[in-house]
């Protein structure tokens, strides 16, 4: 006796639908296909350098560096990238002896200090000046 297995059109359709669902559910990564459209670099070999780059998906960065007084590289520059809502995030920065100091409208800003805090700081400074320690 020979067993023959037959598939109906419905079974083929179900298998095809499952394969299509798996293919469509895979993560879409358009950024993985981004290309560098601008890449300019210069390095003088003495700690002074500059670079600028841009990619086809809207990411860009520009930095300039100089030798710092403590042996570090001081840098200033900016970078930008597209956000999910279609706007562009822009950040400028300075990195030197005082640390990394970013500047952007996207960064949170602390509320102003209440007036009584200024008075407390003034009192504390007077106490320090008169030799009072805690």
Is residue 86, in this structure, part of any structural domain at all?
A: yes
Is residue 29, in this structure, part of any structural domain at all?
A: no
Q: What is the pLDDT at residue 3?
A: 46
Contact 51, 75 (CB under 8 A): no
Mean pLDDT of 61-88: 93
Range of the domain at 68: 34-103
Is residue 23, in this structure, part of any structural domain at all?
A: no
Tell me the per-residue pLDDT of 23-73, one tens digit each, with 9 for 90 and over. Answer: 555 554 556 788 999 999 999 888 899 999 999 999 999 999 999 888 888
What total of structural domains would you count in the chain? 1
Is residue 134, in this structure, part of any structural domain at all?
A: no
Is residue 90, in this structure, part of any structural domain at all?
A: yes
% of the chain surpassing 70 pLDDT: 77
Find tokens 């600028």 and name the residue: 52
Is residue 17, in this structure, part of any structural domain at all?
A: no
Q: What is the pLDDT at residue 133?
A: 84
Is residue 74, in this structure, part of any structural domain at all?
A: yes
What's the pTM value of the predicted model, to 2 decimals? Answer: 0.59
Mean pLDDT score across all residues of the chain: 83
Find tokens 């670099």 and name the residue: 41
Is residue 56, in this structure, part of any structural domain at all?
A: yes
């Amino acid at each position: 006796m020979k067993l023959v297995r037959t598939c109906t059109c419905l079974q083929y359709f179900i298998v095809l639908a499952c394969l299509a669902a798996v293919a469509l559910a895979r993560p879409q990564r358009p950024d993985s296909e981004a290309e560098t459209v601008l890449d300019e670099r210069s390095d003088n070999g003495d700690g002074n350098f500059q670079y600028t780059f841009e990619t086809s998906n809207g990411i860009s960065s520009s930095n300039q560096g100089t030798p710092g007084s403590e042996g570090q590289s001081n840098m200033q520059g900016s970078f930008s990238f597209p956000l999910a809502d279609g706007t562009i995030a822009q950040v400028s920065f300075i990195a030197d002896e005082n640390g990394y100091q970013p500047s952007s409208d996207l960064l949170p800003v602390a509320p102003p200090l209440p007036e009584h805090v200024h008075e407390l700081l003034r009192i504390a400074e007077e106490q320090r000046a008169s030799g009072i320690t805690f």
